[in-house]
Amino acid sequence: MSVLVAPLETLRSSEPRSSKRLNVLTLAPFFPSVEDPAQGCFIAEPIRRMSAQGIESHVIAVQPFYRGPRRASEAQSEWTTYYALPGNVGLGTSGALLARALRSRVRELHASQPIDLIHAHAALPCGEAALTLAAELRVPCVVSVHGLDVFADHQCGRWLGPAAKRRSRDVYRRARKIICISEKVRQQLPLDLQAKAALVYNGVDAEMFSAHGTDSSARILSVGNLTSTKDHALLLRAFARVQRTLPESELEIIGDGPERVRLEELAKDLAIHSRVTFRGRQDRQTVASAMQNCGVFALPSRYEGLGCVYLEAMSCEKPVIGCSGQGIDEIIRDGQNGMLVPAGDEMALADRLLALLQNGGMRQRLGFAARQTVLQSHTLDHQAGRLADVYRECVA
């Protein structure tokens, strides 16, 4: 089947939506730094493309003082710390403290080049602080939501969750727009707030995550933080089933987190540790290379707003396995440009892994369709253009 795709250089050279350039201030709790160049890349990468859309951006990345200072590694960005109570207590109560910490610097930036809009990532604490600062500057504020826990009540737990939910809901109510990374995320909002939500899918650098690699038919790759919701334990158990049929197969896991020790022990208990490699956190280029040179990408995450890694593997022309009921099922069409399995279904995941590892033609067909999906609708330029549209609508 022939698919027409606009060349990347055509997408980049498209004219800005309006002749008036906008100056946007972004507040983010995650962003690349000298200490961690990969953190927050999903925020930084589309910002790099915004100038072509007529948007000038300055980023203030923030973190609580007890995590120590960080050094900026991106142009037009800076890091600052603020006072907050440790852990989840601080998440729900530090919006006002963050606004106080930023006020002088934001006024300085505004005096140098008037800010047209403030874009906050996550309701707490950045959204709450951004609304205070935006009101003082008399400019609109938009808030991005990156996960299914839109109110941070799951994150804050049973006792602190209700307060976090009230504060988050107030932030969304006062924001000019709520930017959601998937329809699944938008549906977590109450109906009265869904009407003001804009859907902007994450995008991919289709040149870094290119199709220039090899088909390592025996290698399964997974990339993600080693947390319980990513369900790498399920992947290990499914891989143990694959091993019984394809003993030459191997599993490579990139990422780190609190579950790592438990997962390494599970691999030993399943007697597959010699075929599983835990590589820890890696830089973006290393991740791209690993995706280009695997046979199958799989991440059975069961609480995922979208998941940039799925799109990145698709851009590398690899068959991807994700879970139905998550944000990625809005992009993956099962059996057409990837595969979907029910969350928590070990047998289904093992069966899909085996089917792909044993069928090179299927891998090629799904991988080709996957990259075409990205090139048609999910590059960084697509994402930057949609963000620019939201900004201009809010400023107008």
Query: Is residue 212 included in any domain, yes or no?
Result: no
- Are 237 and 147 contained in the same domain? no
Number of domains in the chain: 2
- Are 238 and 194 contained in the same domain? no
- Are 230 and 300 contained in the same domain? yes
Query: Is residue 341 included in any domain, yes or no?
Result: yes
- Residue 134, C-beta contacts closer than 8 angstroms, at least 6 positions apart: 117, 118, 140, 141
Query: Is residue 208 included in any domain, yes or no?
Result: no
What gap in Å lies between CA 147 and CA 176, rounded to an integer? 19
- Are 50 and 150 contained in the same domain? yes
User: What is the rounded (10 degree) CA torsion for 12, 13, 17, 22?
Assistant: 70
What domain range includes position 180?
Answer: 8-203+379-395
| Residue 217 confidence (pLDDT) | 87
- 69 vs 339, which has greater pLDDT? 339
| Residue 18 confidence (pLDDT) | 53
Q: List pLDDT tens digits, range 150-178.
A: 999 998 888 999 999 999 999 999 999 99
Is the confidence at residue 54, as pLDDT, over 50? yes
Query: Is residue 210 included in any domain, yes or no?
Result: no
Query: Is residue 273 included in any domain, yes or no?
Result: yes
Q: How many CB atoms lie within 10 A of CB 122?
A: 23
Q: List pLDDT tens digits, range 297-324.
A: 999 999 999 999 999 999 999 999 999 9
- Are 181 and 270 contained in the same domain? no
Mean pLDDT of 349-356: 98
| Residue 19 confidence (pLDDT) | 65
CATH code of 31's domain: 3.40.50.2000
What gap in Å lies between CA 280 and CA 271, rounded to an integer? 21
Query: Is residue 116 included in any domain, yes or no?
Result: yes
DSSP assignments along 252-319, one per residue: EEEB-STTHHHHHHHHHHTT-GGGEEEEE---HHHHHHHHHT-SEEE---SS-S--HHHHHHHHTT--
- Are 244 and 180 contained in the same domain? no
Helix pair angle (153-174, 128-137), 10° resolution: 20
| Residue 89 confidence (pLDDT) | 84
Burial degree of 133 (CB within 10 A; 0-12, 13-18, 19+): buried
- Are 260 and 285 contained in the same domain? yes
- Averaged confidence pLDDT in the chain: 94
- Residue 127, C-beta contacts closer than 8 angstroms, at least 6 positions apart: 95, 120, 141, 143, 168, 171, 172, 175
User: What whole-number percentage of the chain has pLDDT above 90?
Assistant: 89
Is the confidence at residue 4, as pLDDT, over 60? no
User: Are the C-beta atoms of 253 and 238 separated by less than 8 Å?
Assistant: no
